[in-house]
Amino acid sequence: MQFGHMETENDVRNYDTAEYNFAAFDELTSFTETQYKYLVFSRVRTSIPGYPTIVRSGTNPGNVGHAWVRKRFIESGPPGVVCREVQTNTSRIFIPCLARDNPHIDKNYIQRMQGLPEAERRAKAEGDWYTFEGQVFEDWREKPGFDEPENANHLVEDFKIPDFWPKVLAVDWGFSAMTYALWGALSPDGRIYLYREYAAIKKKIVEWATEIKLLSQEEIRHVVMCKSGWQNRGEELNLADQFAKLSGLTPEKPENNRIAGKLAVQDYLRWKPRPKSVVLASAPFDAHKAMSILRTQGTKAYEDYRLAFEVPEDEKGIPKLQVFKSLSLLRKTIPLCIYDTSDTDGKPSEDVAEFAGDDPYDTLRYLLLRVDKMRSPVKEEKYRQEERAIYGQLEATGDQTTFQRRMALHKAPVSMPIRRFTRAGQP
């Protein structure tokens, strides 16, 4: 019996020329796919006819190898079913096991695990391979947790996007890697709905650009393409220019600040409201003063005074990111993003670690950074819709008093947020 370790990728070479008929990996997700495959397919062998070669591994969700372990074992077939790999003539099986399946584990320990943070509880207690501690985007939810509000959810059923919603398309090009495109629409309430995705591997630009064109029959206000599309490759036209010629869509250069992109994704995924800032009023609300302000200064001054005593409402319109359920690739990618520790002595950095198949994430950050620049036109459209609604109410009711009050509030310029107070002594 030999015990070994591999701290770096190259440490796998320490086992060259070795022959093992049995190999066991402890915490498989702490190994890279290259390390695992090199040992399994070159070192696990036998020179004795009929002698079996066996590999067994145990692990929890998470760590650097989470993505490839999930793909190889969890996504390859149903639990408990043997899967045959034709290329290597090997078989593999995933057998899930939870803490409660072990009769030697204290029941109090199992109960205490319910107090873990939601992501870690799902991974450790429930064996959930689609969420784990250490994720960059811990707010990502495909459904609310058992003690979470209804808005802790980023998935929506597919629906027809209204024509007037501004739309943006982001494209991340690759050949051996993935070419990935993502469509988003900005609603009047400031939410971005991701409603379509496209992926291709080892396709020429004439193919994928044409296919994206056929998918983009609606008006696309902005198109952003990854920085690789703008590189000079010795051709008459760079990739971005070829895309424009083939698709009829004119791409822009993306904002390629990786940290800003990560922060944008985190903010759009946030479903917990920001803490309320409440300043105690120096004096209680005075109804007589309020009415005096209304008579002498008008509706706007009256509303400012009244609102100064309201407790701030809960933040609305969160999360700002909504994803159609049909976007399977993006849904798989977001939970796999972990912090980069390659240049920080094992400590998490501020950036997302690059990994095979991270193209949907890169495309998402390009798109969201571009969406941030589109918000003013959307607010203008929302303003016009609210104004039409006010006129519609007047036509339906004939109530001039309500109409004048609503129009005064609607058209009042707001250059800075209203300071809000509560009565002295109130929380």
Percent of the chain having pLDDT more than 90?
A: 39
| Residue 237 predicted with pLDDT over 80 | yes
Are the C-beta atoms of 74 and 129 separated by less than 8 Å? yes
With DSSP H G I counted as helix, E B as strand and the rest as coil, what are the percentages for the chain, rounded to 5?
40, 15, 45
| Residue 272 predicted with pLDDT over 90 | no
| Residue 269: per-residue pLDDT | 95
Q: How far is CA 423 from CA 27, 88, 363, in A?
A: 56, 73, 48
The domain 167-269+326-374 is placed in CATH, from the list 1.10.150.20, 1.10.600.10, 3.30.420.40, 3.40.720.10, at 3.30.420.40
Are the C-beta atoms of 211 and 198 separated by less than 8 Å? yes
| Residue 413 predicted with pLDDT over 50 | no
Both tokens of 231, joined, read 């590189």
CB-based burial, 2-18: b 16+ in 10 Å, e otherwise? eeeebeeeeebeebeee
| Residue 378: per-residue pLDDT | 55
Phi, psi of 44 (to 5 degrees): -85, 105
d(CA 219, CA 165): 10
| Residue 325: per-residue pLDDT | 95
CB-based burial, 178-192: b 16+ in 10 Å, e otherwise? bbbbbbbbbbbeebb
Average pLDDT on 374-385 reads 62
**Long-range contacts of residues 296-305, Cβ cutoff 8 Å, at least 24 apart:** 298/408, 299/404, 299/405, 299/408, 299/409, 300/408, 300/409, 300/412, 303/409, 304/418
The two counts, helices (H) then strands (E), for the chain are 13, 13
Specify the higher pLDDT residue, 85 or 417: 85
| Residue 251 predicted with pLDDT over 90 | yes
Across-strand partners of 167? 185
* 275: confidence class by pLDDT, cuts 50, 70, 90: low
Domain parsing of the chain, residue ranges: 9-96, 167-269+326-374, 279-316+376-422
Average pLDDT on 327-342 reads 87
Give the model confidence (pLDDT) of 30-69 as tens digits: 888 888 988 999 999 988 888 899 999 999 887 778 878 9
Give the model confidence (pLDDT) of 182-226 as tens digits: 999 999 888 999 999 999 999 999 999 999 999 999 999 999 999
Specify the higher pLDDT residue, 396 or 385: 396
Which of these ranges, 163-177, 206-220, 261-275, 311-325, has the smallest mean pLDDT?
311-325
Average pLDDT on 392-410 reads 74
DSSP string computed for 317-334: S-SSEEEETT-HHHHHHG
| Residue 142 predicted with pLDDT over 70 | yes
* Highest mean pLDDT: which range of 141-145, 190-194, 281-285: 190-194
Look at residues 266, 269, 265 and name the one whose alpha carbon lies nearest to residue 369. 265
Which of these ranges, 38-42, 119-123, 289-293, 379-383, has the smallest mean pLDDT?
379-383
| Residue 117 predicted with pLDDT over 60 | yes
Are the C-beta atoms of 123 and 60 separated by less than 8 Å? yes
Average pLDDT on 61-89 reads 86
Report field, pTM of the whole predicted structure over 0.75: no
| Residue 426 predicted with pLDDT over 80 | no
Which of these ranges, 6-10, 166-170, 213-217, 337-341, has the smallest mean pLDDT?
6-10
d(CA 234, CA 225): 19
Average pLDDT on 263-286 reads 75
Cis status of the peptide bond prior to 78, with omega within 30 of 0: no
Average pLDDT on 89-113 reads 88
| Residue 343: per-residue pLDDT | 74
Average pLDDT, the chain: 83
Percent of the chain having pLDDT more than 70?
A: 85
Unique residue bearing structure tokens 């002595």: 345
Please report how the helices 239-247 and 205-215 are oriented relative to each other, as an axis angle in degrees rounded to 10.
Answer: 50
| Residue 376: per-residue pLDDT | 56
| Residue 422 predicted with pLDDT over 50 | no
d(CA 54, CA 287): 82
Look at residues 310, 312, 240 and name the one whose alpha carbon lies nearest to residue 273. 312
Average pLDDT on 359-370 reads 96
Both tokens of 211, joined, read 């296919």
